[in-house]
């Protein structure tokens, strides 16, 4: 965990708003997964949609992680960071066949999530490019509906009830299926969701003779609120190992198990720092207006997500209740009725758990620049993305 002193120092050196990442925490998270899944043949593929700064990707590449990419540009970033093609999975949805062709030219693992593309892929490659298939297991799971992806009404995956249609395509085109994949949602604490998902997938394995991989996706919960607990990884590791061993005993089959965690690997490693611009006393609320907004951290407005906020400039100040708001031209509230040590203009406020889907979902709405990013590695602190400026905003605009 980074101390307030280090964070204040970063804010002083690089200005705010600022994302700061702690390399040690990423390594701790990765090691804890390896430890939890030690009984099974598990490979971790970091779901890099959570945070794609190439410097972060390099940390995970060095740890030996694989990487899960949802766009061809993410694949290119992964290659830049040093991941070899065999350690990259391409898991897009609703993309054109051309994007798959670009990915196959780079030799990465391909995950297909609809029947028509599977057919097109099979017609093109026959059995020459074995694929992973994303199944929709019809399981409702995840922190909220916007991040639930495995239920029957979700756009993701091929319904688990359409296995026969997949078999028909395999027969017609000779496409070879090396893996089955599910991802039911984000922020899943209930271990039974993973166990149930695995059971459903295992039931279908008999229909796929070339199968070597079962990919159980990501979605491990990290604690956002002070009284929350995350997914119990040790317990999950045990449960899954038991299930795989029982299956191996009854069927004689053994699979490699892949996971694609995003949040779990980078959320807690990330800190977001903003400065208080104004304190406004209204008739019913006191507002702290900061030099940022949902253009920089969209999770509270988009998912009603809770991020712990602390006034790290005035930790002994009297506790007061505030609405913490951003500077965007519409409702832009980071936190409602939140207790903070008294906030004065120019105090630095810290948001915890900002590593995943923080900078990555930022935008230039209101023509405000995106924040800078800093990486702390041991005693070293370095800028890994400079703050944007007006020139960045104008770049690409064609003027007469």
Q: Could you tell me the smallest distance in angstroms from the CB atom of residue 328 to ligand LLP?
A: 18
CA 199, chain centre distance (Å): 24
Residue nearest to ligand LLP (CB): 262
263 near ligand LLP (CB under 6 A): yes
Window 147 to 206, contacts with ligand LLP (CB under 6 A): 147, 149, 183, 186
Binding pattern for the stretch 359-398 against ligand LLP, x by CB under 6 A and - elsewhere: ----------------------------------------
Size, binding site for ligand LLP by CB under 6 A: 21
Q: What residues does 375 pair with on adjacent strands?
A: 21, 382
Rule CB under 6 A: say whether 264 interacts with ligand LLP: yes
**Residues paired with residue 178 on neighbouring β-strands, in sequence order:** none
Residue with tokens 């903070």: 340
Q: Is 69 a catalytic residue?
A: no
Q: What part of residues 283-302 is at the interface with ligand LLP (CB under 6 A)?
A: 299
56 touches ligand LLP (CB under 6 A)? no
306 binds ligand LLP (CB under 6 A): no
Residue showing tokens 């008739």:
283
Nearer to ligand LLP by C-beta: 70 or 393? 70
Nearer to ligand LLP, 265 or 375 (CB): 265
Question: Does the protein bind ligand LLP through residue 91 (CB under 6 A)?
Answer: yes
Q: Cα separations (Å) of 56 from 45, 249, 350, 355, 383?
A: 14, 40, 21, 10, 12
Which lies closer to ligand LLP via its Cβ, residue 125 or residue 220? 220
- Positions marked catalytic: 329
Residues that bind ligand LLP (CB under 6 A): 47, 50, 68, 91, 147, 149, 183, 186, 217-220, 260-264, 299, 303, 356-357
């Amino acid at each position: 965990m980074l101390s307030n002193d280090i964070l204040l120092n970063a804010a002083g050196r690089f200005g705010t708003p600022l994302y700061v990442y702690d390399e040690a925490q990423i390594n701790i998270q990765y090691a804890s997964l390896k430890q939890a899944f030690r009984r099974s043949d598990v490979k971790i593929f970091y779901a890099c949609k959570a945070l794609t700064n190439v410097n972060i990707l390099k940390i995970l590449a060095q740890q030996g992680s694989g990487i899960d990419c949802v766009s061809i540009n993410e694949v290119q970033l992964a290659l830049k960071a040093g991941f070899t093609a065999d350690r990259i999975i391409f898991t897009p949805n609703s993309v054109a066949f051309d994007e798959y062709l670009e990915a196959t030219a780079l030799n990465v693992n391909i995950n297909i999530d609809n029947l028509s593309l599977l057919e097109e892929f099979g017609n093109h490659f026959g059995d020459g490019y074995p694929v992973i298939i994303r199944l929709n297991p019809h399981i409702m799971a995840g922190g909220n509906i916007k991040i639930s992806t495995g239920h029957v009404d979700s756009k993701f995956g091929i319904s688990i009830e359409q296995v026969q249609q997949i078999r028909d395509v395999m027969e017609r085109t000779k496409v070879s299926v090396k893996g089955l994949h599910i991802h039911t949602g984000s922020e899943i604490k209930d271990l039974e969701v993973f166990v149930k998902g695995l059971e459903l997938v295992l039931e279908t394995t008999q229909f796929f003779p070339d199968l070597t991989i079962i990919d159980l996706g990501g979605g491990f919960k990290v604690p956002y609120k002070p009284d929350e607990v995350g997914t119990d990884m040790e317990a999950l590791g045990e449960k899954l190992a038991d299930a795989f061993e029982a299956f191996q005993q009854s069927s004689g089959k053994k699979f490699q198990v892949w996971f694609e965690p995003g949040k779990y690997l980078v959320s807690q490693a990330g800190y977001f720092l903003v400065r208080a611009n104004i304190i406004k006393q209204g008739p019913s609320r006191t507002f702290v207006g900061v030099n940022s907004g949902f253009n920089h951290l969209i999770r509270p407005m988009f998912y009603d997500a809770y991020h712990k906020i602390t006034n790290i400039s005035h930790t002994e100040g009297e506790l007061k209740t505030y609405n913490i708001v951003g500077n965007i031209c519409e409702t832009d509230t980071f936190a409602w009725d939140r207790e903070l040590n008294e906030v004065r203009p120019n105090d630095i406020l810290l948001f915890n758990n900002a590593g995943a889907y923080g900078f990555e979902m930022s935008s230039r709405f209101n023509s405000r620049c995106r924040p800078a990013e800093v990486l702390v590695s041991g005693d070293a602190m370095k800028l890994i993305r400079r703050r944007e400026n007006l020139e960045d905003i104008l770049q690409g605009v064609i003027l007469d």
